[in-house]
Amino acid sequence: MLDDNAIREALAEGGALAIVEVLDLDVRNPGTRGQSTGYKLRIERVLAGALAGEALARHYGAPLTPKGGRCAVALLATDRFEPALELLGCEDVTSAQTEQELERRIAALRR
């Protein structure tokens, strides 16, 4: 789930929100406290911020979405995973209705 806190943080800190396709993913240090998952993303549509083409993103923990999945993401440039962006949250996008609901949530949080 792409929760409201992740959306707020991305908006407040100059991050980005986008609809993406997961082109590839890799898991580092599986089964440990330091496990992290990286994603190669194809940017389909930017909802806030500035992104284009492809991006790399990473977060601590298990994968949030599968390779080939389509999802909405909140991303932020931090030192933690440089050169990848930090993935703050992810939500599977299965329909145009899901996208519209997400756009309404983002608009409400911008106020």
Confidence at residue 99, expressed as pLDDT on a 0 to 100 scale: 86
Average pLDDT of the residues in 51-62? 95
For residue 48, the domain's CATH number is 2.40.50.120
Task: List the domain range (segments joined by +) for residue 35.
Answer: 4-110
User: How is residue 31 written in tokens?
Assistant: 């089964």
Mean pLDDT value of segment 27-34: 94
Q: Mean of the pLDDT values across residues 46-75?
A: 95
Given this model, what pLDDT does residue 94 score?
84
Q: How many domains does the chain have?
A: 1
Q: Give the residue-averaged pLDDT of 56-76.
A: 96
pLDDT beyond 80 at 1 = no
Name the H helices within the chain.
4-12, 96-110
C-alpha–C-alpha distance, residues 56 and 24, integer Å: 10
pLDDT digits (tens, 9 = 90+) for 10-19: 999 999 999 9
